[in-house]
Structure 1
Amino acid sequence: MNQPRYTIHGINGPVVKVTGDRGLAMMDMVHVGEEGLIGEVVSVDRDAATVQVYEDTAGLKPGQPVVSQGAPMAITLGPGLLTNIFDGIARPLKVVQDLSGPFIRRGLNLPSLDESRQWEVTLHVKVGDRVSPGTLYASCPETPLIVHRCLVPAGLSGSVTAVAQPGPHTVTEPLVELTDDHGRTHTLKLAQRWPIRTARPMAERLPIDRPLVTGQRIIDTLFPIGKGGAAAIPGPFGAGKTMTQHQLAKWSDADIIVYLGCGERGNEMTQALEEFSELLDPKSQQPLMNRTILIANTSNMPVAAREASVYTGMTIAEYYRDMGYHVALMADSTSRWAEALREISGRLEEMPAEEGFPAYLASRLAEFYERAGYVRTLEGKEGSVTVIGAVSPQGGDFSEPVTQNTKRYVRTFWGLDRALAYARHFPSINWLTSYSEYADDLRPWYDEHVGPEFVPARHQLSHLLLKESELMEIVKLIGADVLPEDQKLIIETAKLIRVGFLQQNAYHAIDTYVPLDKQLKMMQLILKLYAGAKDIVSRAIPLSQLKATGIFESLAKMKYEVPNDQQEKFAAYDQAIDAALRQVNEANR
């Protein structure tokens, strides 16, 4: 069969116009020019087509060939993805460095997986077995933490006619041969191909009823995200988006982390690669990279590939979800992805919408975030993909199109505040502009696994912070000295909540990660002090007497002084509160 012949007709940055025989289809993957640059067809008009090239197009000229690969843009999925770092179109950067040095050579089309590495494979089917989509046919230990499960792909069922011997196999060797109901023979291997823009199928989408526990107090307590949910972290430059995402990647209770650097600075990805290699997973004490995949399409890499990188990351996340794992996808940042869409749209001469972004910006964001979810897989297991996308609005303007459209598709919004970041208050999540729509859905889980006191305590903390915000407007006008004692108490308690509870030190061995039961105990101690102090000021005793005992400062330090596995030490703080209240009461008898 003759391949359609196309040649370059015009070049406009990463957008290439081609003409030739009819035969190219929308979203077909093509190789462009003499070097075989990777591209994707984005429009077709009779004998002409437009190709989005994922590499630098310098040096291309009219008349050079364009060769169709006859299939959509797809990546190879299989064992070997974990612990690795890829570019936006899933080329392994460690191999790229060995072949071309610190810069990616153009036209370097490499497989995602190491095709020479052998994996110790266990076969789970035998000749004569009937298999259907989701049937486990092989498995191998991918890392000390993760067992790679190979499942029959969607749309394929039949009877097993041949099975390889268990033992070492590469990703390209046939493992299982089956014959479908139409008599066609299919070969199953360790690896499979999947188009990145197509969501992987599942049996059923399940309700989100449990949180992604992160160990970050302001997130777990005030603004939780459900496992399988979607969250946005918008904030200006320097507000701590990357720092927050690094913390979530390190400590969240997901089985697998996919960290996607989309248009961000290369040093941030380098920091992630170095830190994750050195850090130990808190559950298994294995290196964190053993459950991490990094995708780096940084700001100095081709813009067009930045647009593809988010789909590459999501496809990998869905692949592990289908094995029954819980995956957290960190996208940093979706604003750079949207800017890539804007640049490509401009090159295609499409009619721009608000601020020059394409009119389909909202639908592209929806396609991405709606691939998150808590699902029942084809195999019958439960798995999830939780998406946490950073947004980088210029100047911290949350009214710009990317932030506003993102808010339509996420149910958790962690708005970062420049003033908090400059005051060294991290995470710099503003408790007045942030929200979580998962909180009510997750209440039964908190009641069962943490305690029925957790949600009421969270509500009390939120109420005190809101009252403080209202009182600070008055304080700015007339000063704090003229406030009545009960309002001074609200301001003092809210300060304790902000400094002693919401502020968290990512570099402190104890404070970097806090389990939920410790978070509850900290809230209970703060609220116990508030209740006791409220009783004191109601009897016309000045709050200053209680402050003079130093109990407020003492509670602010408990986050550093109580190890996560020694919560009985909270008893000393409980006794200190009783002693301070007793001292004030006795002095005013």
Structure 2
Amino acid sequence: PPPDPLKRALIEKPLSVGVRSIDGILTCGKGQRIGIFAAAGVGKSTLLGMIARNAIADVNVIALIGERGREVREFLQHDLGEEGMKRSVIIVSTSDQAAQTRINAAYVGTAIAEYFRDQGKSVILMMDSVTRFARALREVGLAAGEPPARAGYTPSVFAVLPRLLERSGNSDKGSITAFYTILVAGDDLNEPVADEVRSILDGHIILSSELARQYHYPAIDVLASVSRVLPLIVDKQHLEFVGKVREVLSNYKKNELLIRIGEYKPGTDKNADFAIKYIDKVNRFLKQKVDEKAPFEETLKMLKSLFGP
């Protein structure tokens, strides 16, 4: 069962995951539950591998549910690597396995994370993906005679999801910081499972196909993403710089077409001028190579020096 809500420790400390765009702009707290929403092939597994290798935690528990068989070893050797494997427990149930086996993999992964949390450890739980867990639940539900509801999903799917996702988080002993990936068709964030999961979790990171096409990795759409605990875990100065980065991205996006076709005249709008001046610096800050380490303190220094002369 999930920890007693009155005994849950509050999320008060930031957790460094070693990814600049997350640590700097979407800072995660120890015990937070975050959804990573993306279409296929946008870099979810690569991002999970970066977090597993670089995050400051005692144990990683990684549940790969409904994955392609080919991708499992690829993820373990290339994305996770020797560094990530040293402190990781991996649960795998490939897409060809029975629906009940895929469902059990999610429960086993969560139970292992709970075991380490009860020992007072700081745990990172990664589940890839909740969508395939929901599809397995749908398969079992339809076979049991349940009527299909939203987008063919059976009603029990939407009853089970909160029961699983609420089990992670802080307890009075340790913490589970959870990253759940959700597959979305064509960047549609309003499909039933994505919508439901977003309402349960404490934040969402949206990966954009558009950014991936521009070779901007990790392809995190900062404007569409949010960490709900951010104001509780960072200082005022950090929050101020997060606001500035969002303003630059937002104002540039608003005027992007005019800028690209050469119709924008400098001096027309001071906010747009500010955005044009700093957009390249901001994008360089948000991009990161797969094997590049980004310590938390260094990320904060870089963030605070973005808008200097």
Please classify the TM superposition score into its range, dividing by the shorter chain length. over 0.9
| Runs of at least 5 residues in structure 1 that lack an aligned partner in the other structure | 1-197, 281-287, 378-382, 530-589
Partner SS for 2:91: strand
Post-superposition CA distance 1:305-355 (Å, at most 9, x none) = 101111110000000000000111110011111111111111111111111
The residue that corresponds to 2:240 in the other structure is 456
The residue that corresponds to 1:422 in the other structure is 213
> Percent identity of the aligned residues?
29
Q: Report the count of equivalent residues.
A: 307
Amino acid at match of 1:421: A
Call closer, same or farther: CA 1:492–1:395 in 2, change over 3 Å: same
2:294 aligns with one of 514, 525, 530: 514
RMSD: 2.1
Rounded Cα–Cα distance in structure 2 between residues aligned with 1:277 and 1:433? 27
The residue that corresponds to 1:432 in the other structure is 223
Partner SS for 2:21: helix
Rounded Cα–Cα distance in structure 2 between residues aligned with 1:307 and 1:516? 35
Shift of 1:203: 9.2
Partner SS for 2:307: helix
1:470 aligns with one of 236, 254, 258: 254
Are 1:276 and 1:289, in contact at CA under 8 Å, matched by a contact in 2? no
| Runs of at least 5 residues in structure 2 that lack an aligned partner in the other structure | none
What are the residue-to-residue correspondences of 1:193-204 with 2, within 5 Å? 198-199=1-2, 204=7
Shift of 1:440: 0.8
Partner SS for 1:433: coil
Amino acid at match of 2:27: P
The residue that corresponds to 2:62 in the other structure is 259
Post-superposition CA distance 1:420-444 (Å, at most 9, x none) = 112111111111211111111112x
Match status 1:406 vs 2:191: no
Rounded Cα–Cα distance in structure 2 between residues aligned with 1:235 and 1:276? 17
Match status 1:491 vs 2:282: no
Post-superposition CA distance 1:115-169 (Å, at most 9, x none) = xxxxxxxxxxxxxxxxxxxxxxxxxxxxxxxxxxxxxxxxxxxxxxxxxxxxxxx
What are the residue-to-residue correspondences of 1:296-311 with 2, within 5 Å? 296-311=92-107
Are 1:202 and 1:322, in contact at CA under 8 Å, matched by a contact in 2? no
1:274 aligns with one of 77, 82, 95: 77
Rounded Cα–Cα distance in structure 1 between residues aligned with 2:5 and 2:237? 36
Shift of 1:202: 10
Bigger radius of gyration among the two: 1
Are 2:2 and 2:163, in contact at CA under 8 Å, matched by a contact in 1? no
The residue that corresponds to 1:347 in the other structure is 143
Are 1:203 and 1:375, in contact at CA under 8 Å, matched by a contact in 2? no
1:374 aligns with one of 161, 167, 170: 170
Rounded Cα–Cα distance in structure 1 between residues aligned with 2:277 and 2:6? 52
Rounded Cα–Cα distance in structure 2 between residues aligned with 1:213 and 1:274? 23
Partner SS for 2:61: strand
Are 1:217 and 1:514, in contact at CA under 8 Å, matched by a contact in 2? yes
Shift of 1:388: 0.6
Partner SS for 1:318: helix
What are the residue-to-residue correspondences of 1:540-555 with 2, within 5 Å? none
The residue that corresponds to 2:11 in the other structure is 208
Shift of 1:214: 0.6
Are 1:230 and 1:386, in contact at CA under 8 Å, matched by a contact in 2? yes
- In the superposition, the TM-score normalised over structure 2's length comes to 0.92
Match status 1:524 vs 2:296: no
Partner SS for 2:15: coil
Rounded Cα–Cα distance in structure 2 between residues aligned with 1:526 and 1:225? 21
Shift of 1:523: 2.1
Partner SS for 1:414: strand
Are 2:67 and 2:94, in contact at CA under 8 Å, matched by a contact in 1? yes
Larger fraction in helix: 2
Match status 1:312 vs 2:96: no
Rounded Cα–Cα distance in structure 1 between residues aligned with 2:222 and 2:3? 36
The residue that corresponds to 1:545 in the other structure is none
Rounded Cα–Cα distance in structure 1 between residues aligned with 2:159 and 2:293? 36
What are the residue-to-residue correspondences of 1:213-252 with 2, within 5 Å? 213-252=16-55
Bigger relative contact order, structure 1 or 2 (CA pairs below 8 A, ≥6 apart)? 2
Partner SS for 2:252: helix
The residue that corresponds to 2:185 in the other structure is 394
Match status 1:482 vs 2:265: yes
Post-superposition CA distance 1:272-310 (Å, at most 9, x none) = 333488533xxxxxxx42311000001122222101111
Are 2:203 and 2:227, in contact at CA under 8 Å, matched by a contact in 1? yes
Rounded Cα–Cα distance in structure 2 between residues aligned with 1:207 and 1:524? 27
Call closer, same or farther: CA 1:467–1:201 in 2, change over 3 Å: closer
| Regions of 4+ moved over 4 Å | 198-203, 275-278
Rounded Cα–Cα distance in structure 1 between residues aligned with 2:85 and 2:214? 32
Call closer, same or farther: CA 1:275–1:205 in 2, change over 3 Å: same
Are 2:49 and 2:79, in contact at CA under 8 Å, matched by a contact in 1? no
Rounded Cα–Cα distance in structure 1 between residues aligned with 2:282 and 2:14? 22
Shift of 1:496: 2.0
Rounded Cα–Cα distance in structure 2 between residues aligned with 1:363 and 1:426? 35
- In the superposition, the TM-score normalised over structure 1's length comes to 0.50
